[in-house]
Amino acid sequence: MAETSFWDSSSVQEDVLQDYKKHKNVLESYRELENRLQDAEELTALMESKDPDFKDLLREVKEISQAVEDLDIRLLFQEKEDRGDAIVTIHSGAGGTESQDWVDMLFRLYTRFCEGKGFEVQVTDALEGDEAGLKHVTFLVKGEYAYGYLKSERGVHRLIRISPFDSNKRRHTTFALVEITADIDDDIQVEISPVDLRIETFRSGGAGGQHVNVTDSAVRIIHLPTGITVQCQNERSQHQNKAVAMHILKARIHERMLTEQQEKMQAKKGEHKDIAWGSQIRTYVFHPYTMVKDHRTGHETGNLQRVMDGEISDFIEAYLKKERSL
């Protein structure tokens, strides 16, 4: 940056400045944690467990531990898109009410995870099930490294449990598909011809409540060349719903373009790497024992409730470490 020629190219400036900011933030976070740890160690040497402030010290140690874990994961992020926001869609599979309830459970899992990271969650589209749960839900996750954290969740999630909707108390296996798309910056140009779009308007479905505001201005956009379909029904006007739907459509088209480029590069190298969104990635067993296992990394835990409460950082870290080693 001290070189005079550095300021001659705006594209070079942008890339270098982004790298500089990324590394600077990591270094500053590390130094802050180092200072907090030193203070905690000094207090530990002076305190006893009966001290009234001892609980505060334990809370600080737990927060430091969580921050170290987050920083460790951030160091595994490699792609430019990792730092940005994410678009998440969860679809129910075959299985009716049981599958739709599984979508709602996953939605709660990711909402709790995002709350823990300080991410903002904005639901753009949701269709409630006939009896319970959700047929599908789409939401934006806004926050630094939201996509980097959530991209590992892309794929099919399998649930095995005694269904509460089965009067005979039989064990059921059901599935849900989780799609994760990197939200694109406004400066990324995705050309879409108006003739390639079919735009439909409809009344918002479902009973409203926590997932969706009932309006008369929901918008569905179909990109005819690719078949990609998006819809938005959570904004107050048709214009706002259309704008959000177009934004999501551009992000998904951009994601598909990147995926196709990656597949071509792998084909040239003679590599085979399954990046299909339909791949089964994880199984959640509620009965006859409790276990969550990731089939890509082999990482598993018996603490099912912890996972369902949004504690999935260990699964994310295992996935990122494996990806980095490839």
Compute the average pLDDT of residues 254-282.
66
Burial class of 70 by CB neighbour count within 10 A (0 to 12, 13 to 18, 19+): middle
Question: Across all residues in the chain, what is the average pLDDT?
Answer: 87
- Tokens for 11, please give them: 């594209």
What are the φ/ψ torsions at residue 224 (nearest 5 degrees)?
A: -60, -40
Please say whether the beta carbons of 87 and 138 come within 8 A: yes
Each residue of 56-98: pLDDT tens digit?
889 999 999 988 988 888 888 888 889 899 999 999 987 789 9
Q: How does residue 3 score in pLDDT terms, banded at 50, 70 and 90? A: confident
- In this prediction, residues 196-207 reach a mean pLDDT of 79
pLDDT number for residue 179: 94
12-27 pLDDT, tens per residue? 787 788 788 878 888 9
State the average pLDDT over residues 230-245: 91
pLDDT at 106 over 80: yes
pLDDT score of 157: 96
Give the strands of the sheet with 228-232, arranged side by side.
Answer: 197-202, 218-223, 228-232
